[in-house]
Chain A
Amino acid sequence: MKIQLRYFASLREALGPSEVLELAEPATIGAVRDTLIARGEPYASALARGRAVRTALDQVMAAESAPVGEGAELAFFPPVTGG
């Protein structure tokens, strides 16, 4: 199944604005993050465990335990700093 990945702020600078990811089977957000980390650099550093990375699924903040379905838009970004 295919999902759309989007990156913002420092993660966008490191990884690009977006990409399509092909997954062999349904996965959680956390599992997708691990898949990306396993690619090596620059993903391994940008998404490293211990770094504060927030995630949104179909434009709603979501925890890493959330399942990602076919066609989902999954975004990774640093903690927000508006206002």
Chain B
Amino acid sequence: MTLPRVSIQTADFDLSAEVAALRAGDPGVGAVAAFVGTVRDRNPAGYQGQAEAGQVSAMELEHYPGMTERSIEAMIDAALARFDIRAARVIHRVGLLQPLDQIVLVAVTSAHRGQAFQACEFLMDYLKTQAPFWKKETTPEGARWVDARVSDDAALQRWGIEAGGNAG
């Protein structure tokens, strides 16, 4: 059975089970790097122009069905071409999430740690700037869409990739 490389789902995920499935049957794997993103309950002062730190009570995730899956598949193909890695897995949750919830998993297997770490970070940087997901936060002041961060585009550029898109 071939495991899916990309899952967009409302359900939670189990890091241990996903890593076990990703490396199952591959004795060439010497390293697994995994990143788990979680929903936090506050944003720092200065975030989106706020004077003070803000409470976040919920987060709603929207995606573009079809495009989201395909764009992440293409990112994984790019990572496989660029790094000496053996397999990769991305899970991103959508719908309504709460602080403490897991939101995203990127896991990569490789013979050695260096390529696994790099590919994992590359996939996360790519995902943050190129995969069509949008976050809406609920705060004491009401619900609002999260603005994209310039620092995320800068993170992608260190891989020699322009964030692209139409600024105007």
Interface flags, B108-130, vs A, CB<8A=1, else 0: 00000000000000001001111
How large, as a class, is the contact surface on chain A?
20 to 34
Residues on B with C-beta less than 8 A from A77 are: 64, 132, 134
Assuming the A-B contacts A8-B62, A52-B167, A55-B166, are A81 and B147 also in contact, with contact meaning beta carbons closer than 8 angstroms in the complex?
A: yes
Instruction: Return the chain A residue nearest B104 by Cβ.
Output: A83
Closest A residue by C-beta to B69: A59
Determine the residue in chain A with the shortest Cβ distance to B165: A54
The reply to whether the CB of B61 lies closer than 8 angstroms to some CB of chain A is yes
B71-108 interface with A by 8 A CB criterion? 71, 92, 103-104
- B residues within 8 Å of A by Cβ? 37, 61-64, 66-67, 70-71, 92, 103-104, 124, 127-136, 145-149, 164-168
Tell whether A82 pairs with B166 under 8 Å between CB atoms, given A9-B62, A9-B145.
Answer: no
When distances are taken between beta carbons in the complex, the residues of chain B under 8 Å from A63 are 164-166
Given contacts A63-B164, A82-B132, 17 further A-B contacts (CB under 8 A): A9-B62, A9-B136, A10-B134, A12-B62, A55-B165, A55-B166, A56-B64, A56-B132, A77-B132, A77-B134, A81-B145, A81-B146, A82-B127, A82-B134, A82-B135, A83-B127, A83-B131
- Can you list 10 A-B pairs with a CB-CB distance of less than 8 A? A9-B136, A56-B67, A59-B66, A63-B166, A77-B132, A78-B145, A80-B129, A81-B128, A82-B135, A83-B124
